[in-house]
Copies of this chain bind each other. A is one copy, B any other.
Amino acid sequence: MPADLANDPLAALPGYALRRAATTQMAQLSVRMGTIGLRVTEASVLLLIGARPGLTSADIGKILDIQRANMAPLLARIEDAGLIVRAPIDRKSQAILLTRAGETRRAEVEAITNAFEAELLARIPAEHRDHLLPALQALWD
């Protein structure tokens, strides 16, 4: 059901609209990432590692706002899938790097992401479009 001011008194609230827009869009992105066997969070990690190889698990968690405790099983899944390897930095930390298969998968994630982002922006009336990203960035911390 699209935003319906007449019947839904919550539809006029930016915070509520933010939640509804995010859940709807993320559900759609989840379906697309599912076609290549990835969850959205796993896909976001592949994009980050591709852009910044050598980050540690803790680094990735801080940047993507994922708790260290939740990074462990996430990395285990994409490692089991052969997409990443761990290179020891010292006896405590490990750099996360993409494998060849991981780089291939990352490129697929990038293609899906670019198409998704383009379609998302296309849905927004032109006069509002360029304001979305800066407005959202101001709400994020």
Task: Given A7-B63, A139-B120, decide whether A25 and B16 contact each other with a Cβ distance below 8 A.
Answer: no
Q: A123–B16 Cα gap in the complex (Å)?
A: 16
Q: Which residue of A10, A14, A117 has the most chain B CB atoms within 10 A of its CB atom?
A: A14
Q: Which 4 A-B pairs have the closest CB atoms?
A: A22-B22, A131-B131, A2-B141, A3-B137
Distance in angstroms from A122 CB to nearest chain B CB is 10
A140 x B63 contact (CB < 8 A): no
Count the A residues whose beta carbon is within 8 Å of the partner chain — how many?
Answer: 57
Stoichiometry (number of copies): 2
A139 x B25 contact (CB < 8 A): yes
Q: Does chain B have a CB within 8 A of A89?
A: no
A65 x B22 contact (CB < 8 A): no
Q: A19–B19 Cα gap in the complex (Å)?
A: 9
Q: A4–B8 Cα gap in the complex (Å)?
A: 35
A47 x B10 contact (CB < 8 A): yes
